[in-house]
Chains A and B, each alone.
Chain A
Amino acid sequence: MSARRLTARLVGLTEQHPYTAAVRAHAGFELTNSDDADVVVLAVPLADRPAAVEQTVKAGKHTVVHGVLAEDPDQAAELAALAQNQGTVCLPDYHVRFQPAVRAARAAVAAGRVGLPWNVQGDLISSDTAAKPASLAVHAIDTVRALTGLPVRTVRRTDAGSVLLLLLTHDHGVTSTLAVGHAPGAATHRYRISGSHGMLDVDASKPAWAGGASMAGLLTELHTAVVTDRPAELSLDDAVAAQRVLTDVRTAEGSTA
């Protein structure tokens, strides 16, 4: 960890929000209410989000954005392009890829420990019955992309109310299936990667401290990218890609994402 600390301003996050605690606990950040903050963590309503992202990026702030960038994926893509042109580090809040078990799984898959992956199954079932399946889905989609390194090519959706089922295809004949949703008392978050030479079962709800660690991992990625000038492993382009999977599937079954 670099000794340089970045000042971070939280917008729209309560004191109880896990990200508030994560930023507060991270050695690379110092909370501030000042407009001069190096980093802005945005969690504003969707209607206000595009303008907020644009304003923050144009102000040269490094940014973490909660949720999709904009309701219109084309507008989201414009914001992603703006961030790239501005040269700031802007990340979507896709912290699951930094969850310790997922990080280990990504490394194992990339090292060939299951051979050539051919299928991923994922379940993200939250106990928060107010959670929208589509909002959960972007995290699961991003995690599959991070696990396999493969973009989503087609998607088929089945909406079962509190659960959304996504059947995806990727390059090389790889398929994945994601069940996202909620149920009272549920706490299932897992991924299973089947490969030509093995299978990897990942329980992303473990270990118990992993929730905070995943957010800390995302913050470390942001911090490292800012202080070393190396590109972050994800960007707002990843947010646009995940959103397009959901947006296109809303309009046409079996559409190409």
Chain B
Amino acid sequence: MESSSGYDRPVGVLVVGTGAIAELHLAAVHAHPGATLAGVADLVPVRAAAAARAHGGVPWDTDLATALARPGVDAVIACPPNDAHAEVGLAVAAAGKHLLIEKPLATTVDDADRLVAAFADHGLTLTAAHTHRHYDYARAVHAAIADGTVGRPRLIRLSVLGGWIWPDWRAWVLDPARSGGHELHNGVHLLDLVTWWMGDDPVRVYARGRKQTAAELEIHDYLELVVEFAGGGVAVCEMSRGHRPATLGYRDVLVVGDGGSYAIPWDGAAATLFGEAGTALLPVAESDGFATQLDAWLTAIRGGPDPMPATDAARAVVLAVAARESIATGAPVEVMAA
């Protein structure tokens, strides 16, 4: 490591929370020469131990403070349930470690602001894992808008539609008290992207939600999030885990500006496979967004540019909370310009 930040060796990373998404972060850590796995932590002993064994026999803990105090821990990748983000994040800041935390940054606006302030006060890097920003399609859209391809964007459409992916009723994502609802859990991805692409301050959110898979759901598995911007542009985000067939994987982008348009249609990033089992799309091989994200975070830790500022993650929380309120009331919600 060669920066003035003090790291002349790989950054020691502690992974907190060892669920499915942690595996993607762990794979990125293993693949990056500038990082090394320093340990894992999980409230559930068997999970922590199993993860440690699966990842080279690194130290494991069930107590966060103990894990943070281990030698060699410089930074943390945190993947706990959403309602634990604030508690875990504040503990990491207090311990003087950098943090890459799964989205949403927090489940309340106050908690998001507290996290931003805590890391800023300590001069530490806080990054929320808005991984879509690191996907090829998202970067291509951002570049097309930034280079003036469409002129001033007036409409952005982003649809990410799929079928049911969560387990049974025990899944914490389905508990709005733990996940913050689908608006916070996945909606923040799209709300952040369209705001980043539009390059403007959001001023109003109007949202519609459905409980498509089961009437008994306490979260909306289909979201339609409409964001209006200070400059008069508008974005329509669709986020679905309620579509049929359940195997659906559909991503579609349309940008309409006063100088042109730019689209990545649902079938525009795939080949078509005509096989004995029928016709199917064969998605193109995209770069690993988790790897790109990790590299960006490590660069920011070393004092480089931060492509996903914590304030942007906090803004996404503001928009998601506004969307949740809009769905509940049926009325648009004004949001503060960033």
Contacts and interface: CB of A to CB of B under 8 A. Distances in A.
A123 interface: yes
Given A123-B157, A165-B155, A185-B261, A160 B234 contact: yes
Interface stretch (B167-175, B183-191, B205-213): B205-213
B236 interface: yes
Given A118-B212, A165-B234, A194-B243, A183 B157 contact: no
A87 interface: no
A125 B265 CA distance: 14
Interface in A138-195: 156, 158-163, 165, 167, 173, 175, 177, 179, 181, 183-186, 188, 194-195
B214 to A, nearest CB: 12
A51 to B, nearest CB: 36
Interface stretch (B76-84, B251-259, B290-298): B251-259
Nearest to A165: B234
B305 interface: no
B232 A161 contact: yes
A173 B250 CA distance: 23
B90 to A, nearest CB: 38
Given A156-B206, A165-B226, A197-B244, A186 B260 contact: yes
B248 A183 contact: no
B261 A125 contact: yes
A125 B154 CA distance: 12
Nearest to A186: B261
Given A123-B157, A125-B261, A179-B155, A163 B236 contact: no
B263 interface: yes
Contacts of B224: 119, 167, 175, 177
A115 interface: yes
Contacts of B166: none
Contacts of B161: 194, 199
A77 B256 CA distance: 34
A122 B55 CA distance: 48
Contacts of B91: none
Given A119-B222, A121-B159, A163-B155, A179 B236 contact: yes
Interface residues of B, number: 34
A153 to B, nearest CB: 13
B161, B212, B228, B236 pick with most chain A CB within 10 angstroms: B236
Contacts of A121: 159, 238
A185 B151 CA distance: 12
B150 interface: yes
Contact of B150 (A158, A159, A173, A183): A183
B7 interface: no
B258 A183 contact: yes
B258 A185 contact: no
Contacts of A112: none
A68 B257 CA distance: 27
B236 A183 contact: no
A160 B229 CA distance: 9
B212 A161 contact: no
A160 B154 contact: yes
Nearest to A156: B206
A165 B154 CA distance: 10
B245 interface: yes
Nearest to B236: A177
Contacts of A167: 206, 208, 224, 226
- The 6 lowest CB-CB distance pairs between A and B, nearest first, are A186-B261, A163-B155, A160-B154, A183-B261, A163-B154, A160-B234
21 contacts: A119-B222, A159-B232, A160-B155, A160-B232, A163-B234, A165-B155, A167-B224, A173-B210, A177-B224, A179-B157, A179-B256, A181-B256, A183-B150, A183-B154, A184-B259, A185-B261, A186-B256, A188-B254, A196-B244, A197-B244, A201-B266
Interface of A: 115, 118-119, 121, 123, 125, 156, 158-163, 165, 167, 173, 175, 177, 179, 181, 183-186, 188, 194-199, 201
